[in-house]
Amino acid sequence: MKKISLKINLILTIAFLIGIYFFLSNVNILGDYWSRIVTLVAIYSIMAVSYTLVNGITGIFSLGQAGFIAIGAYTSALLTLSIQQKEMSFFIQPLIWPLNSIQIGFLPATIIGGLVAAFFAFLIGYPSLRLTGDYFAIATLAFAEIIRILIQNLYGVTNGTLGLKGINPYTNVWWAWSWLLVTVIVIGSLKYSSYGRALRAISEDPVAAKVMGIDVFRHQMMAFVISGFFAGVSGALYAHWITTLDPRPTSLGVMLTFYVLIMIVIGGLGSITGAILGAIFFAFVSQWLRIFESNITIFGFTIPGVPGMSMLILSVLFIIVMIFWRRGLMGKEELNWQKIYNFFKKVEVQNE
Amino acid sequence: MDIGLNALIQNIFNSLSLGGLYALIAVGYTMVYGILRLINFAHGDIFMMGTYFAFYAITAFFLPWYLGFLMAILITGLLGFSIEKIAYRPLRNAPRISSLITAIGMSFFLESFAVVVFGGIPKSFNVYPKFFSDIILIGQSRIPLLTFITIGVTFFLFLVLWWILYKTKIGLAMRAISVDIPATSLMGANVNNIISTTFVLGSAFAAVAGILWAMKYPQVQPYMGFTPGLKAFIAAVIGGIGSIQGAIVGGFLLGFLEIMIVGFFPSLAGYRDVFAYIVLVVILMFRPTGIFKIYSEQKV
């Protein structure tokens, strides 16, 4: 089959980006609800792409993503909340000193949220990365739970179970999609750099990689910290999208890790475009399945809505994907113009 | 007797009953891990389903409590059997991480299922006979009868488990496949049946633990299985995952640790769940094989 030249590739990519730009700048035509969903798609995509860097590309299986997202969310929210709002929220125990008298902009708060999450990723990765396989998964899960319980109990910093309210809704389509672009560029170029090749070697066979002279620990740590950074950024965006935060297990706890896991498994573990497709799928399907949770009337019969139905259907889908279709939508491959071209060529040949 | 001693006696009994419950759940984890090298993530949710089965057997089908509990244990065993057959068996030869992901999916499924079918709102588990909450005085410490029942049932079940493992043919087969699956199947044992039996046994134990747990903290809700499940897994790791004695010892150690730390430092009560996780991390750092079993390093 014909190979697409670099020039055409570049033109198509730029055209695609311009297309996305026009779509995003006109998204408010679809209404407030849909522009919020489009924003959420980008936030989910950042979570999924940063998660797939660890779980797919590096091939170590972490269950701690929600912890980093929560750290990013809380850090940035505490930095952007107005001083009056903080005084109002923290009525059980006042907020500790430096945080109670500062308010900074959204961009620096997001970056600081990411950096704090990356720092925690380093702290957690340092002991955990010596473990392998399912032990690593359980250790990171335990660390994520420790983070959640700390958030729940440190009333002077996080307002504990009361949570944070009245966070400024800064996150809009542009913030979310620009950060997604940054995430994809960083993690994409990492995947195809020499570091990325080393990471893939490690995911295939850590012992063989070590024999080839790859410093397994350092590479895994780097991937883990970068993933933590973008998880923190996605948490910051999420906090300013949803505007209230609380440390229940079903909101910023292990449930969130499950959701992101569903996205990357459906998209294909190890694929960046797959992770984004998985995130789009998850965002739309979980919204669409909401119809099962409200009453439906067909020909005068009312079928009562069942709360939780959407997650039940998604979990069944998830298990089916794992049993019958383990490579997901993309496997470890990326979607590129060559693939799309080949696909249409194949369809054409079949039609003739 | 002074108050300190009373509190100590009370704490000891509490630790024994909590530890026993952790041990009962941990046994299910460790048996499955010992054979399939799979962390059965859904085990905590099987525990949760057991309590719901007991709740509905008694409230919806009007069974007397002992029959209701028995039915719940049997149905939970059946549930464990089906989960293995539907979700884990097709992946037995897949990479281990795939089975782990499927197990996480299964856990997620059971939780969503419970939310949809049983409702997300916590229900009060007041279906057990009232005399269970009678208070028994030891010296001057007041201990509910339920604590003694929990400890008694736990030890009885460990005896049953010991009998099954060391005195019956299926127990011999279970011990054999935990060492080497292909060799055992060459000896003419039916591997699928043995693995199914393991799941049934582990799930039934989880159901017993679930019923005792629901009586102790009289409430059932769809996410109740997560934390006890994770802690029981930690108990299994402390004892050396794959080893049944290890799971029992680990369960009691964890129970004592939690109750005693909160007993001596009440201000740390909010952080109660953190201790188990810290212990897990420390154990994994310094002695990942736990107290009992020693798995060899991976060879190339």
CB pairs under 8 A between A and B: 106
Residue B105 or residue A97, greater confidence: B105
* Closest chain A C-alpha to B142 CA, distance in angstroms: 30
Find the mean pLDDT for residues A316-342: 82
The reply to whether B121 touches chain A by the CB within 8 Å rule is no
Chain A positions touching B116 (Cβ under 8 A) are 306-309, 312
Please compute, for residue B93, the number of CA atoms within 13 A of its CA located in the half-sphere on the CB side.
1
In this predicted structure, the answer to whether residue A121 has a pLDDT above a threshold of 90 is yes
**Which residue carries 């107005």 as its tokens?**
A82
Minimal CA–CA distance to B177: which of B158, B193, B160?
A: B193
Please list every residue in chain B whose beta carbon sits closer than 8 Å to the beta carbon of residue A322: 91, 98, 101-102, 105
DSSP characters for B208-271?
HHHHHHHHHS-EE-TTTTHHHHHHHHHHHHHH-TT-HHHHHHHHHHHHHHHHHHHHH-GGGGGG
For residue B137, which phi and psi values (nearest 5 degrees)?
Answer: -95, 125
Cα A50 to Cα A272: distance, rounded to the nearest angstrom: 9
Cα separations (Å) of B47 from A120, A168, B58, B203, B205? 33, 41, 17, 7, 8
Tell me if ipTM is over 0.90.
no
Report the C-alpha gap between A327 and A17 in whole angstroms.
Answer: 27
User: Which residue has tokens 């991390």?
Assistant: B281
Is beta strand B135-138 parallel, antiparallel or unpaired with respect to B141-144?
Answer: antiparallel
pLDDT at B296: 47
**The pLDDT value given to residue B1:** 47
Residue A109 · residue A79 · CB < 8 Å: yes
Burial of residue A307 (CB within 10 Å: 0-12, 13-18, 19+) is middle
Does residue B120 sit at the A interface (CB-CB below 8 Å)?
yes
Give the pLDDT mean for A41-47: 94
Q: Is A301 helix (H, G, I), strand (E, B) or coil?
A: strand
Q: What is the DSSP string of A302-343?
A: EEPP-TTHHHHHHHHHHHHHHHH-TTTTTTT----HHHHHHH
User: Which among A142, A319, A323 has CB closest to B281?
Assistant: A142
What are the structure tokens assigned to A79, written together?
A: 């930095």
Provide the total of helices (H) and of strands (E) in chain B, helices listed first: 11, 4
Residue of B nearest to A205 (CA): B300
Low-confidence ranges of chain B (pLDDT < 70): 1-3, 293-300
Give the pLDDT confidence score for residue B27 in this predicted structure.
92
* DSSP single-letter state for residue B135: E
Residues A170-182 as b or e (16 or more Cβ within 10 Å = b): bbbbebbbebbee
pLDDT mean over A54-78 = 91
B159 touches chain A (CB under 8 A): no
**pLDDT of the residue at A77:** 92
User: Higher model confidence: residue A90 or residue B300?
Assistant: A90
Pick the closest to residue A89 from A217, A208, A246, A316 (CA basis). Answer: A246
Euclidean distance between CA atoms B212 and B168, whole angstroms: 27
Asked if A117 contacts A71 with a C-beta cutoff of 8 angstroms, the reply is: yes
Which pLDDT score is estimated for B293?
Answer: 60
Q: What's the confidence (pLDDT) of residue A46?
A: 95
Answer yes or no: are the C-beta atoms of A65 and A147 closer than 8 Å: no
Tell me the C-alpha distance between A214 and A195, whole Å.
10
Band of the pLDDT at A68, cuts 50, 70, 90?
A: very high
Q: Who wins on pLDDT, A284 or B285?
A: A284
Q: How far is A142 from chain B (nearest CA, A)?
A: 5
Give CA torsion, residues B173, B177, B181, B183, to 10 deg: -60
Mean pLDDT of A22-29: 79
The pLDDT value recorded for residue B44 is 93
pLDDT at residue number A250: 74
Higher per-residue pLDDT: B141 or A274 = A274
Mean pLDDT of A277-283: 92
Within 8 A by CB and 6+ apart from B105, the residues are A262, A315, A318, A319, A322, B87
Interface-testing mutation among B108, B115, B262, B283, with chain A (most A C-beta atoms within 10 A): B108
Whole-angstrom Cα distance, residue A269 to residue A55? Answer: 7
Q: What gap in Å lies between CA A314 and CA A321, rounded to an integer?
A: 10
DSSP track, A63-90: --HHHHHHHHHHHHHHHHS-HHHHHHH-
Sequence-ordered list of residues with C-beta below 8 angstroms from that of A293, at least 6 positions apart, any chain? A305, A306, A307, A308, A309, A310
Average confidence (pLDDT) over A281-309: 76
Of the candidates A187, A181, A1, A157, which has an alpha carbon nearest to the alpha carbon of residue A79?
A157
Place of tokens 């383990």: A326
A153: pLDDT strictly greater than 90 = no
Dist CA B26 CA B202 (whole Å): 9
Whether residue A135 and residue B108 make contact (CB cut-off 8 A), yes or no, is no
Mean pLDDT of A273-277: 92
Q: Do A323 and B91 touch (CB under 8 A)?
A: yes
B120, A308: Cβ pair inside 8 Å? yes
Task: Sort out which chain B residues have CB atoms less than 8 A from A152's CB and list them.
Answer: 270
Domain ranges, ordered by start, for chain B:
3-286
Is the distance from CB of B83 to CB of B46 less than 8 angstroms? yes
pLDDT tops 50 at residue A229: yes
Report the distance separating Cα A49 and Cα A13, nearest Å.
19
- pLDDT value of residue A301: 67
**In Å, what is the CA distance from B271 to each residue of A149, B14, B253?**
7, 18, 18
Considering only the top CATH level, what class is B3-286?
A: mainly alpha
Interfacial residues of A (vs B; Cβ cutoff 8 Å): 61, 63, 127-128, 130-135, 137-139, 141-143, 145-146, 149-150, 152-153, 207, 249-250, 254, 258, 261-262, 265, 306-309, 311-312, 314-316, 318-319, 322-323, 326
**Band of residue A170 on the pLDDT scale cut at 50, 70, 90:** confident
What CA–CA distance (Å, rounded) separates B229 from B103?
A: 13
Domains and CATH numbers, chain A: 6-351 (1.10.3470)
CA distance A309 to A288: 11
User: Of B33, B92, B93, B281, which to mutate for an interface test with A (greatest number of A Cβ within 10 Å)?
Assistant: B281
* Res B297: pLDDT: 46
Which of A122-131, A218-227, B86-95 ranks highest by mean pLDDT? A218-227
How many Å apart are CA A246 and CA A163, to the nearest integer?
A: 4
Partner A contacted by B285 (CB < 8 A): yes
Distance CA A315, CA A319 (A): 6
The Cα B249–Cα B254 span in angstroms is 9
Question: What are the beta bridge partners of residue B144?
Answer: B135
